[in-house]
Amino acid sequence: MRVNTRSLFCPCVCLCPTRPCGPAAPPGRGRPPALPRQRRQERLPAAMSRKGRKLVVDSLTRSAKHFTKSEVECLVKLFDTLVAKASSQFAGAGFDRTVFRDTLYNAFGMTDDAVLDRVFSTFDKDNTGCITVEEWVEGLAVLLRGTLEEKMKYCFAIYDLNGDGYISKEEMFQMLKHSLLIQPADEEPDEGVKDLVEIALKKMDYDHDGKLSFTDFEKAVRDENLLLEAFGPCLPDIKSSMSFEQKIFRETPK
């Protein structure tokens, strides 16, 4: 089963040329052996047993404060559908990167592969390459209903590509390098992006250490909320999230 996981995992990583050090590295670190066992236990509720699902919903309602019980039910239901759609490498415990990407693409119109990969890895907290029902509900809670606080943490995690707690100039460059559509003819192609990075840094780097710590980021965002998604969109916009909520939560009126 482990082998399976990896073989499905890797191609995806390779598809993302922008990010050589993404979640591909963590799986290499090796997983604690206890994990599969836990998976198996959780797999039961996910596998549509009525009673088990009710348990999951209950516990999730308690933990995820942004959703009501019926909303959690809807999300779990959606999760089940997605799991069913995905091939069963995880034996019904969750779904993989491809399904995740497709879902987010369809629901929120998020297209940027690089960003979607980062979103996947922030969802996939334990780095299994598989989104479980908890991860799914908690992740969506931030995406749809998150407070500014939660969203800041989420976005910072997305932008902090190597996970070292700082957004460095290089990371900014990575994220912004395709954002200039018109290149001035006489300048070096990268000049504009570097300049843009400098502008962003000037705006957000409060402690002037040439990189953004979470404190910098937080301060900048609190000052100007628009900077929350300064280095690329990673949250659904209000229209698509509204229509998503409408679609998902309305389907089950009970």
| Positions that interact with other proteins (CB under 8 A) | 175-176, 178-184, 192, 195-196, 199-200, 202-203, 224-227, 229-233, 237-239, 242
Q: Which is nearer to other proteins, 34 or 181 (CB)?
A: 181
Signed CA dihedral, 215, 123, 229, 200: sign only: positive
In the complex, minimum distance from the CB of residue 101 to other proteins, in angstroms, rounded to a whole number: 20
CA dihedral 178, 179, 180, 181 (to 10 degrees): 80
Q: Distance (Å, rounded) from C-alpha 142 to C-alpha 220?
A: 20
Q: In residues, how long is the chain?
A: 254
In the complex, minimum distance from the CB of residue 138 to other proteins, in angstroms, rounded to a whole number: 25
In the complex, minimum distance from the CB of residue 176 to other proteins, in angstroms, rounded to a whole number: 6
- Strand pairing report for 212-213 and 166-167: antiparallel
Q: Which is nearer to other proteins, 3 or 226 (CB)?
A: 226
Q: Distance (Å, rounded) from C-alpha 26 to C-alpha 9?
A: 12
Q: Distance (Å, rounded) from C-alpha 159 to C-alpha 244?
A: 25
Q: Which is nearer to other proteins, 137 or 220 (CB)?
A: 220
Q: Which is nearer to other proteins, 83 or 175 (CB)?
A: 175
Q: Which is nearer to other proteins, 1 or 238 (CB)?
A: 238
98: which 2 tokens?
């491809």
> Is the distance from CB of 204 to CB of 227 less than 8 angstroms?
yes
In the complex, minimum distance from the CB of residue 16 to other proteins, in angstroms, rounded to a whole number: 18
Q: Which is nearer to other proteins, 8 or 230 (CB)?
A: 230
In the complex, minimum distance from the CB of residue 251 to other proteins, in angstroms, rounded to a whole number: 21
Closest by CA position to 145, among listed 241, 19, 40: 241
Number of other CB atoms surrounding residue 243 within 10 Å: 13
In the complex, minimum distance from the CB of residue 227 to other proteins, in angstroms, rounded to a whole number: 6
Closest by CA position to 137, among listed 74, 221, 48: 74
Cα 55 to chain center, whole Å?
Answer: 25
